[in-house]
Amino acid sequence: MFKFATGQDWLLMVLGSIFAVANGASIPAFSVLFGETANAFALSDPDKVLEEMEKLAMWFGIIGALAALASYVMFAGWMIAGDRQALEFRK
């Protein structure tokens, strides 16, 4: 089926693959943040705990937003490339 792919299709598939790796990298990043959250609870000063939790909450939001963007680009790239190739295949 890849013999029907144009240069634009290849670009979409490569971008989709790169963003798939980025999306997959979000899982270990969340695991590290969860570990840091557990470590923050071990702090003795409540103000330090709150400060650390605010920082971690910001990172959770950033990584979550980046994972959502990566997931969208991944699926969009592969779906558009697949649709374009299927249309060419049926001609």
Q: What is the model's pTM?
A: 0.82
Per residue in 18-47, pLDDT (tens digit) is: 999 999 999 999 999 999 999 999 988 999
Q: How far is it, in rounded angstroms, from Cα 62 to Cα 66?
A: 6
- Answer yes or no: are the C-beta atoms of 51 and 43 closer than 8 Å: no
Q: How far is it, in rounded angstroms, from Cα 60 to Cα 32?
A: 10
Side-chain-facing half-sphere of 74: CA atoms under 13 Å: 14
Q: Which stretches within the chain are classed as H helix?
A: 7-41, 46-90
pLDDT band at residue 90 using 50, 70 and 90 as cut-offs = confident
As given in the structure block, the two tokens for residue 77 are 């790239």
